[in-house]
Amino acid sequence: MDDVGGQSGSSPAFEQHGLLEYFSPIEVALGLKLETRVGSTDPLLDRPLDDPAEELRTSLARLLQSGPVSIAFSGGLDSALLLVAAVEVARREGLPLPVPVSLRFDDAPEANETEYQRGMIEELGLDQWCIVRVEPGELDYAGSTATHVRQRLGLHWPPATHLMVPLLRASRGTTLVHGQGGDELFVGWRTWPGLWARRKVPSRGHRVLRGWIRERGGHTDAVVRALRHPLPRAAWLTSRGRVRAGRWTLRSIAIEPGTRPEYLRWRFRSERWRAFQATMSAVSGSEGVPIAFPLADASFVEALARTSSFHELPRDAVYESLSRGRIPVHLLRRVGRHGVWRCRGLIASRLVSLR
C-alpha cells in the first residue's frame, strides 16, 4: 500500500457513474480534489457579448422558458442574486415566477438565516416559498442522506454533495437553479496561499500584513498561521505521505493563473470543476431533477472576464451591480460568511499591490 493511502478498490457505483476517473490515489487519501494540469485560459466564447448582468438574465430566461424553475435560496449573496435576476426576467417576459427553496436546520441556530431570507422574499413580493425542514442529524456527514449518496455515487466531489438531495427532492417537476460558482467567480484567485505560492508577496509580506490588519482592528494570528501553513494537515497520513501530499497541494495552487480574467476562464475548465459537474449530474440524475448553475454559464463568465471594471470592485459592489440594485443593502453589508470573504478579498488585493 502507498504511503498516501494506496489504490481504492472500485465499486459498482464508481463504474456506473464514472466518477472514479476524476480522482487520483493521492486525492482520495487527502480528501481533496487538486489541480494537476495547466489548463487553457483562452476565451470561453469568441462572439460579442452583452454586459455581465444581461448575460446572466439571458441564461436565466432560457431556463424559465423551458419550464418551472426552483431556486436554492440560502439567503446568501449568490442565491439572492439569482432569485432577484430570475424574478426580474420572469416578470419582464410574462413567465411563471421561480419558487425559492430553503433548508431549515432547527438544531443548528448558527445556520439560521431566516431573517435575511424573509426580507428578500418580501422585497420581491413573492407568494410562494418552499421551506424544507431538516431533521437533527439528517444531513450529517455520517447521517442517512450522506450514506445514501455514498452508496449511490461512491467517491464524489464535493463531500457536501448530500446537501443537494433535500433541495432536489423538494424541486421535483421543476429545474433546480443553484448558486454554485459564485465563490469561484468572486473569490477564487485572490486566495492567500495562491498569492504566496506564485510569489506575488514580498518576503516582508507577513510583517506588512500584520500591521495592515491591526490598523483596521482585525485579528492577525489565525491569518498569519494560515499563510505560514497553507498545506492540509492530514493526520491520518504517514510523514512521507504528508510530504507528498504537500508537494501536490503546492503544485495545485501554483497552477492557478495570476490574473482574474485568466483565472475565470481557467476555473470553469479545471479538473475540480469537471469533477463537480460529474457529481452533480450523477446526483441530480439519481433524483430525477435537472439542476443548473447559471453563475457558471460560459457567456456570463466570459462577459465578466472581459469587463475590467468588475475586477477591482469589492464583492458587495459587484453583487449590487449585477442585481441592478435590487439586493437590499442590509444583505449586502451584513457580517457573516460574506464578511469573511470580503475581508479576504480586501487583504489579498492589498498584498497584490505590494508586489
Q: How many Å apart are CA 31 and CA 8, to the nearest integer?
A: 13
Mean pLDDT of 280-285: 93
Residue 274 has pLDDT above 60, yes or no: yes
Q: Which three cell numbers stand for residue 222?
A: 489565525
Q: Please answer whether residues 230 and 10 qualify as being in contact, where contact means their C-beta atoms are separated by less than 8 angstroms.
A: no
Q: Which three cell numbers stand for residue 294?
A: 447559471
* Residue 202 pLDDT: 41
Q: Name the one residue in this structure whose C-alpha cell is 424559465.
A: 64
User: Within its chain, how far is the Cα of 184 from the centroid?
Assistant: 6
Q: Please answer whether residues 245 and 4 qualify as being in contact, where contact means their C-beta atoms are separated by less than 8 angstroms.
A: yes
Mean pLDDT of 56-67: 97
Q: What is the DSSP string of 272-304?
A: HHHHHHHHHHHHHHHHT--EE-GGG-HHHHHHH
* Residue 188 pLDDT: 54
Mean pLDDT of 218-247: 63
* Residue 311 pLDDT: 78
Between 180 and 329, name the one with better pLDDT. Answer: 180
Question: In this structure, which CATH number among 3.30.465.10, 3.40.50.300, 3.40.50.620, 3.30.1220.10 belongs to the domain 52-181+284-336?
Answer: 3.40.50.620
* Residue 350 pLDDT: 39
Q: How many Å apart are CA 222 and CA 198, to the nearest integer?
A: 21
Q: Supply the Cα-derived Rg of the chain in whole angstroms.
A: 21
End-to-end CA distance of the chain: 44
Q: Which three cell numbers stand for residue 175?
A: 429545474
Burial environment of residue 29 by CB neighbours within 10 A (0 to 12, 13 to 18, 19 or more) = buried
15 Rama class: left (phi>0) / alpha (psi -120 to 50) / beta: alpha
Q: Which residues pair with 71 in a beta bridge?
A: 100, 177
Q: Say if pTM beats, i.e. exceeds, 0.85.
A: no
For 22-53, what is each residue's pLDDT tens digit? Answer: 888 888 888 889 888 878 889 999 999 999 99
Q: How many Å apart are CA 334 and CA 111, to the nearest integer?
A: 15
Average pLDDT over all residues of the chain = 79
232-236 contacts, C-beta under 8 A, 24 or more apart: 232/30, 232/31, 232/32, 234/29, 234/30, 234/31
For 200-209, what is each residue's pLDDT tens digit? Answer: 444 444 455 4
Q: Please answer whether residues 99 and 130 qualify as being in contact, where contact means their C-beta atoms are separated by less than 8 angstroms.
A: yes
* Residue 231 pLDDT: 55
